A and B are shown apart, each in its own frame.
Chain A
Amino acid sequence: MSTRLANNGRLIDRRKPINFLFNSKKMIGYEGDSLAASLLANDQILVGRSFKYHRPRGIVASGAEEPNALINLGEGGSFEPNARATTTETFDGMVAVSQNHFPSLEFDVGAINSKLSQFLPAGFYYKMFIHPRSFWKHIYEPFIRKSAGLGKAPKDRDLDKYEHYYHHCEVLVVGGGIAGIQAAKSAAASGVRVMLVEQTAHWGGRAVVDGVVIDNIAAEEWIKGALSELSVMDNVVIRNRTQGSGVYDHGYALGYERISDHTPGDSRPRHRLWRIRCKQIIVATGAIERPLSFAGNDIPGVMLAAAVRDYVVNYGVSPGDRTVIVTNNDDAYRTAIVLKDAGLDIPLIIDARPKGGGILMDQAIAAGIRVETGRGIAKVKGGKRVTGVSICSQAGEGAELEEISCDVVAMSGGWSPVVHLWSHCGGKLFWDSSKAMFCPDPKHPPLGVDGEGMVRVVGVANGHLGSAAVLIDANEQGSVAAVAAGGKTKKLKAAHCNNSVEFPMLPVWLMPQGANYGLRSKSWLDFQNDVKVIDVQLAAQEGFESVEHTKRYTTLGMATDQGKLSNINGLAVLSKSLNMDIPDVGTTTFRPPYTPISMASLAGEARAEFFQPIRKTPMHDWHESNGADWEPVAGWRRVYAYVQPGETTKQSVNREVLNTRKNLGFLDASTLGKIIVKGPDAGKFLDMMYTNMMSNLKVGRCRYGLMCSENGFLSDDGVVARIDDGTWLCHTTSGGADRIHAHMEEWLQTEWWNWKVWTINLTEQLAQIAIVGPNSRKVIEKLGGMDVSPEALPFMAWADGNIGGISCRAYRISFSGELSYEIALPANQGLQFWEMLIDAGAEFGAMPYGTECLHVMRAEKGFIMIGDETDGTVIPQDLGLSWAVSKKKDDFLGKRAQQRSFMDNDNRWQLVGLETLDGSVLEDGAYAIASGKNANGQTNTQGRITSTYYSPTLKKGIAMGLVHNGPSRVGEVISFTKIGTSPVEAKIVSPIFFDPEGEKQNVG
């Protein structure tokens, strides 16, 4: 059984026991435990079920590479699926539940898949479930979806906070083992800013577990000293629990800090995403031990040899009482020695190498451990946990020589450098055949902004397996990186360490070498996704020769561990099947992040009300407390209608229209874009920007203008006012302000950069209020201060003055067809002025109105709306706006485009008014049906609705639309689509439905 030892446990505090629940069972761990360690300490060997066959799964590893121990963690708004037990720190009150089984972890009906596995080979989905067609969607797929999926779907809203940090430094060092620490020391000595991050809570990596001696002291002591040196340096930032998750172009790197995963509820943010910009990245991420491929290597209790050692040394946990060790290299002997020292039983070390290993083997033998060389495991015995192994000759086909009972198998197939961060941005690898590993190829590094290498890999990750070489490499490259990042050349002496001499490893890709089909069909490569040796071999047999094909066909390496354990072994099996060398088969692409990171950390603080800032006009709060029904418009909130108690929104709109036409209405028009264009060449410039002439506009007057893109299509409209000789103020649509300002600047800076023109976007500096209706002049006169009589302020004129004591500018313009003024004033007085108007207007029947009322009134007048009548495919000529397109000007943006054959053409859809015969309202977006079908069998069309409303003024539906040659077809009746029923007939009419002579707006 697995249990807590009385000795060892450098990371735990035995004075601080922790209570937690696993599958509702009370368990006890210690502070400092990983959840995996806590589970093993409680003899919980079975921790989950695999993805495809629902096989029993136990803990394999001790770190980020763990494929099996994935847990539903927490509850409610703190629930997280697929939490990796090996990288989760146990805390008091933790609730953990195993995944992917029904009804229970111990008894899972899905395990039937395992019995049927011979019928479910790699790629079986593609070969079956084909008939009958409807069964895929309704029968097969739902079943497959349900049995896949691992963790439960969260249900509740996340209770935690997340945040982003920006960080700038010259050198980022990823990995807090001895290589990373030495590299950081070396880089920091040159004076550059250094950041050192370590993904776990603890520093030192493997060296501290393996008892390395550095500068004549224990690695643990050396690290303590080095960290305290670094921590007092002003140019160094150190973070543990922070993973270097991704490397991106131009020295951008992602740090993922798990601040309070281990202290939930302490009010700190849960995760912090570091957006790091640096010049050089040092990757000191060590290596991951490889499993061996033998039959039954997926049975709970089969673990990586170094992980077994970690549990004993770090947590004082023994994964079992009797451990058989199987290896192809010397390192696994360290596990044997550690276990033996801890008083545990090692019945046998199986070394696949014909002559075994070096000094470490001798030590093991001296300690009384039996070693068999040239042997392998034929088969692991057991179901939900290991009960024994049978051994065989590695060179043979698996004939059993002997059976040995044990409850743990510690395996080591060699080591794979963690080269992910080197590869994210295109760093290439080479195959080091003596070490049987892919190492970073320094000739092909990921390139930075200057075209030079921006990532360096040091230590074990760089293929150096001995501590002495690791420290020398890290020290050297730390200094080189610092210089490349602009630091001074200052060389430290690398910390000293005696190299232990190890015998070379022997690549073992299959155990035994000639394993028969039966054994291979039980030899797992990918434990989570259930990919076995035979699956990769089948893929090769079926022509999936590219490693990417094999990966996708078998799902090898596509599990949540992204192949950290399985990829190299799978690649080796594939290359063997194809009779190719491993480097010729290549690797799959390493993609960020290194391990999965929370979605919420990507969003950071920008959630709920902070998701996107809402732009508010000065009167926003007044609207809010007066029944505003809001509508999002380009970052702003605008009032759709002011809903009074007992009203539907529709009724509110009708009331607002009728009241404004009869009495007086106020509109908050502050969101309208307001751009000042100024300078000696401003007139010439505006003549290019607008389709009509602006240079000849008189000071004190306003003109409606259209803007087109260079591609000819209408992009914005608005009223332009000439302020003085060299100054114009351009109104844009609410959504268009920033875009149009940028558009102006683009042309000024990149085409006509010699023109003397300056622009500034004043949109937010000014509040603007439309005072609309027959009583509009009366309310302004009541407030007093400026002459707004028809003589002083005729239609399409503006004047500066004050109203009710507030300095303002009044424009006599109208988008409703009513007598109307738009008053612009400093934003900070907007609310005051608005409230004055509301008070003063009461006796004149004043009411505020919203955007929908605005739309109805403009449609009654046949005024176009950008975004309704236009959609990026409409030119001014389509909208009867040729009068606003200058014939005199040689050039303006869009003029050349409008001369192209398809546009300079009367045979287009053009603006008309439309009225149903029965007064009903046409549907938004309805199309006008034409006779016949096109070559693709689609019903022909001859137009479409662009705006459609109920007009309370006219008490009937009115619509504007684009109809093929429409203006010449007034009086004709055509049919429009109506969803779900037969088409509706409508008559083509003038688009001006109300007051066609314009008497109301021009009232004297």
Chain B
Amino acid sequence: MLMLNCPYCGMNKDETELSAGGEAHIKRFGPGSSDQDFEEYLFGRANPKGLHFERWRCSSGCGKWFHAARCTLTLEVFGTYEAQTLEPPQSIKDLITVKRPGWSWRAFS
């Protein structure tokens, strides 16, 4: 039973008030992209046992989408941040570095 802080509401939200939205920071490939890029965009989900970046929606609250950095093994949450960004904020990356030295996730580290 996860509890995540919605960065818009500023409130801790019970999982039942949220909707999970899968992996975060996916780059969209549209017309003109290669079959491989398009396949990776639609189906090539990171499925790490450990640190993961994912999307959530505050669906029974403010309705906003946000991102969470979370460990899929311990369920520890390193932070949540607004979805309108191409990469996690430095403060969250720094915190992860403290807790999971040497971490990397896709292009981020």
Direct A–B touching in the complex (beta carbon < 8 Å)?
yes
Interface residues of A (CB under 8 A from B): 248-252, 277, 426, 447-451, 710-711, 742, 745-746, 749-751, 753, 890-891, 895-897, 899-901
Give 20 pairs: A residue, B residue, CB < 8 Å, sorted on A: A250-B1, A250-B2, A277-B14, A447-B76, A449-B2, A449-B76, A450-B77, A451-B99, A742-B57, A742-B59, A745-B63, A746-B21, A750-B84, A891-B30, A896-B31, A896-B33, A899-B31, A900-B35, A900-B38, A901-B35
- With a CB–CB cut-off of 8 A, which chain B residues contact A711? 42
Nearest B residue to A748, CB-CB: B65
Q: Is the CB–CB distance between B75 and A249 below 8 Å?
A: yes
Q: How many Å from the CB of A690 to the closest CB on chain B?
A: 15
The CA of A131 and the CA of B31, in the complex, are separated in Å by 62
Nearest A residue to B66, CB-CB: A749
Nearest B residue to A446, CB-CB: B74
10 extra A-B contacts, CB within 8 A, seeds A749-B64, A896-B32: A277-B3, A449-B75, A449-B77, A746-B21, A749-B65, A751-B28, A890-B31, A891-B30, A895-B31, A896-B31
- With a CB–CB cut-off of 8 A, which chain A residues contact B77? 250, 449-450
Per-residue A-contact encoding for B20-56, CB less than 8 Å = 1, 0 else: 0100000011111101001000100000000000010
- With a CB–CB cut-off of 8 A, which chain B residues contact A750? 21, 55, 65, 83-84
The CA of A392 and the CA of B53, in the complex, are separated in Å by 65
Q: Contacts A450-B76, A746-B57 known; A897 to B83 CB distance under 8 Å? A: no
- With a CB–CB cut-off of 8 A, which chain B residues contact A710? 42
Nearest B residue to A712, CB-CB: B42
The CA of A342 and the CA of B56, in the complex, are separated in Å by 64
Select one of B19, B32, B35, B83 contacting A753, CB under 8 A. Answer: B83
Q: How many Å from the CB of B24 to the closest CB on chain A?
A: 8
The CA of A447 and the CA of B2, in the complex, are separated in Å by 12
Chain B: interface size category = 20 to 34
The CA of A485 and the CA of B31, in the complex, are separated in Å by 52
* For the complex of A and B, 4 pairs with smallest distance between CB atoms: A252-B1, A451-B76, A753-B84, A250-B3
Q: How many Å from the CB of A171 to the closest CB on chain B?
A: 16
Q: Is the CB–CB distance between B1 and A248 below 8 Å?
A: yes
Nearest A residue to B70, CB-CB: A449
Residue with the greatest number of chain B CB neighbours at <10 A, chosen from A449, A742, A897 = A449
- With a CB–CB cut-off of 8 A, which chain B residues contact A890? 31
The CA of A451 and the CA of B38, in the complex, are separated in Å by 36
The CA of A711 and the CA of B38, in the complex, are separated in Å by 10
The CA of A95 and the CA of B31, in the complex, are separated in Å by 73
- With a CB–CB cut-off of 8 A, which chain A residues contact B65? 745-746, 749-750
Nearest A residue to B67, CB-CB: A750
Q: How many Å from the CB of A688 to the closest CB on chain B?
A: 9
Q: How many Å from the CB of B80 to the closest CB on chain A?
A: 11
Q: Is the CB–CB distance between B30 and A895 below 8 Å?
A: yes
- With a CB–CB cut-off of 8 A, which chain A residues contact B83? 749-750, 753
- With a CB–CB cut-off of 8 A, which chain B residues contact A901? 35
The CA of A397 and the CA of B94, in the complex, are separated in Å by 65
Q: Is the CB–CB distance between B74 and A447 below 8 Å?
A: yes
- With a CB–CB cut-off of 8 A, which chain B residues contact A745? 57, 63, 65
The CA of A745 and the CA of B83, in the complex, are separated in Å by 12
Q: How many Å from the CB of A744 to the closest CB on chain B?
A: 11
The CA of A454 and the CA of B91, in the complex, are separated in Å by 24
Residue with the greatest number of chain A CB neighbours at <10 A, chosen from B3, B30, B38, B77 = B30
Q: How many Å from the CB of A653 to the closest CB on chain B?
A: 38
Q: Is the CB–CB distance between A896 and B29 below 8 Å?
A: yes
Q: How many Å from the CB of A65 to the closest CB on chain B?
A: 27
Select one of A447, A448, A896 contacting B38, CB under 8 A. Answer: A896
- With a CB–CB cut-off of 8 A, which chain B residues contact A248? 1
Q: Is the CB–CB distance between B3 and A252 below 8 Å?
A: yes
Nearest B residue to A899, CB-CB: B31
- With a CB–CB cut-off of 8 A, which chain B residues contact A900? 35, 38
- With a CB–CB cut-off of 8 A, which chain B residues contact A252? 1, 3
- With a CB–CB cut-off of 8 A, which chain A residues contact B76? 447-451
The CA of A249 and the CA of B42, in the complex, are separated in Å by 30
Q: How many Å from the CB of A708 to the closest CB on chain B?
A: 13
The CA of A883 and the CA of B32, in the complex, are separated in Å by 22
The CA of A248 and the CA of B16, in the complex, are separated in Å by 14
Q: Is the CB–CB distance between A251 and B3 below 8 Å?
A: yes
Q: Is the CB–CB distance between A249 and B31 below 8 Å?
A: no
Chain B positions 69-83 with a Cβ under 8 Å from a chain A Cβ: 71, 74-77, 83
The CA of A899 and the CA of B63, in the complex, are separated in Å by 33
- With a CB–CB cut-off of 8 A, which chain B residues contact A251? 3
- With a CB–CB cut-off of 8 A, which chain B residues contact A250? 1-3, 75, 77
Q: Is the CB–CB distance between A249 and B38 below 8 Å?
A: no
The CA of A249 and the CA of B76, in the complex, are separated in Å by 9
Q: Is the CB–CB distance between B1 and A249 below 8 Å?
A: yes
Nearest B residue to A745, CB-CB: B63
Nearest A residue to B3, CB-CB: A250
The CA of A461 and the CA of B35, in the complex, are separated in Å by 59
Q: How many Å from the CB of B13 to the closest CB on chain A?
A: 11
The CA of A896 and the CA of B29, in the complex, are separated in Å by 8
Q: Is the CB–CB distance between A897 and B38 below 8 Å?
A: yes
The CA of A890 and the CA of B32, in the complex, are separated in Å by 9
The CA of A105 and the CA of B9, in the complex, are separated in Å by 62
- With a CB–CB cut-off of 8 A, which chain A residues contact B14? 277
- With a CB–CB cut-off of 8 A, which chain A residues contact B42? 710-711, 897
- With a CB–CB cut-off of 8 A, which chain A residues contact B1? 248-250, 252
Q: Is the CB–CB distance between A891 and B74 below 8 Å?
A: no
- With a CB–CB cut-off of 8 A, which chain B residues contact A277? 3, 14
- With a CB–CB cut-off of 8 A, which chain A residues contact B28? 751
Q: How many Å from the CB of B23 to the closest CB on chain A?
A: 11
The CA of A522 and the CA of B38, in the complex, are separated in Å by 67
Residue with the greatest number of chain B CB neighbours at <10 A, chosen from A277, A895, A896 = A896
Select one of B30, B59, B84 contacting A896, CB under 8 A. Answer: B30
The CA of A896 and the CA of B31, in the complex, are separated in Å by 5
- With a CB–CB cut-off of 8 A, which chain A residues contact B19? 742
- With a CB–CB cut-off of 8 A, which chain B residues contact A753? 83-84
The CA of A749 and the CA of B31, in the complex, are separated in Å by 21
- With a CB–CB cut-off of 8 A, which chain A residues contact B71? 451
- With a CB–CB cut-off of 8 A, which chain B residues contact A249? 1-2, 75
The CA of A251 and the CA of B77, in the complex, are separated in Å by 13
Q: How many Å from the CB of B81 to the closest CB on chain A?
A: 13
- With a CB–CB cut-off of 8 A, which chain A residues contact B75? 249-250, 447, 449
Q: How many Å from the CB of A857 to the closest CB on chain B?
A: 36
Nearest B residue to A751, CB-CB: B28
The CA of A426 and the CA of B75, in the complex, are separated in Å by 11
Q: How many Å from the CB of A288 to the closest CB on chain B?
A: 27
Q: How many Å from the CB of A675 to the closest CB on chain B?
A: 13
- With a CB–CB cut-off of 8 A, which chain B residues contact A897? 38, 42
Q: How many Å from the CB of A893 to the closest CB on chain B?
A: 9
Q: How many Å from the CB of B16 to the closest CB on chain A?
A: 9
- With a CB–CB cut-off of 8 A, which chain B residues contact A426? 74
- With a CB–CB cut-off of 8 A, which chain A residues contact B29? 896
The CA of A890 and the CA of B3, in the complex, are separated in Å by 41
- With a CB–CB cut-off of 8 A, which chain B residues contact A891? 30-31
- With a CB–CB cut-off of 8 A, which chain B residues contact A447? 74-76
- With a CB–CB cut-off of 8 A, which chain A residues contact B32? 896
The CA of A751 and the CA of B83, in the complex, are separated in Å by 9
Q: How many Å from the CB of B74 to the closest CB on chain A?
A: 5
Nearest B residue to A251, CB-CB: B3
- With a CB–CB cut-off of 8 A, which chain B residues contact A742? 19, 57, 59
Q: How many Å from the CB of A875 to the closest CB on chain B?
A: 15
The CA of A711 and the CA of B43, in the complex, are separated in Å by 10
- With a CB–CB cut-off of 8 A, which chain A residues contact B59? 742
